Amino acid sequence: MFIIFLTGTFLTFIFVFQPLLCSLTKKENVAVYGKASQSTVYPGAFAYYAIDGYREGRFSQGSCSATNNDFNPWWRLDLGRTHKVFNINITNRVEYPTRIDGAEIRIGDSLDNNGNNNPRCAVISTIAPGFTDTFQCNGMDGRYINVVISGRNEFLTLCEVEVYASRLD
Ligand SMILES: [Ca+2]
């Protein structure tokens, strides 16, 4: 009887409380509500394409942003107000996948150096062609999310940037 009671309690937790807990703590991709800009615009590859909601990694499909071959190219998302950022997903382009290597994710409220001086969440070592990798930012605060490649000339291409964060009121 006790075992049945215990099992029942356990199942109640699994089927009732667990989904409730998940729905309360679920983080939304807030990137789609933001505004994107970038150092320069490669013809037709607008900054917005990195937050259009599609992870499509083939450049020809028109869902990847790209800069020209800039020195220190950057892409920036403005969330409109400060958020607590938990994790960021970045989808790499299928073609020329090594262009993303060494890119830094920076988060903060400053626009100094176009936001590229904000605290660093992560350095992207590499992302497989067309794949999506997750970077943990552990609740860093910021209105601006930058992806910047420092110290070399490069085309910065992002096929999707998802930002899972909570608004700070
Ligand atoms: Ca996209």
pLDDT at 4: 57
The CB-based long-range contact list for 121-129 (8 Å cut-off, 24+ gap) reads 121/85, 121/88, 122/88, 124/90, 124/100, 125/101, 126/97, 126/98, 126/100, 126/101, 127/90, 127/91, 127/92, 127/97, 127/100, 128/92, 128/97, 129/57, 129/92, 129/93, 129/94, 129/95, 129/97
Pick 28-167's CATH classification: 3.40.50.300, 2.60.120.260, 3.30.420.40, 3.40.50.1470. Answer: 2.60.120.260
Burial 118-149 (b: 16+ CB within 10 A, else e): bebbbebeebeebeebeeebeebbbbbbbbbb
- Structure-block tokens of residue 16: 């009732």
Q: Where are the domains of the chain?
A: 28-167
Q: What is the mean pLDDT of the chain?
A: 91
1 CA to middle of ligand 1, Å? Answer: 55
Q: How far apart are CA 92 and CA 106, in angstroms?
A: 18
At 161 the three-state DSSP class reads strand
58 CA to middle of ligand 1, Å? Answer: 10
55 CA to middle of ligand 1, Å? Answer: 5
pLDDT at 27: 74
9 CA to middle of ligand 1, Å? Answer: 44
Q: Write out residues in the chain with pLDDT < 50, as ranges.
A: 19-24
104 CA to middle of ligand 1, Å? Answer: 19
pLDDT at 121: 98
pLDDT at 2: 56
Digit-coded pLDDT (tens) for 65-103: 999 999 999 999 999 999 999 999 999 999 999 999 999
41 CA to middle of ligand 1, Å? Answer: 15
12 CA to middle of ligand 1, Å? Answer: 40
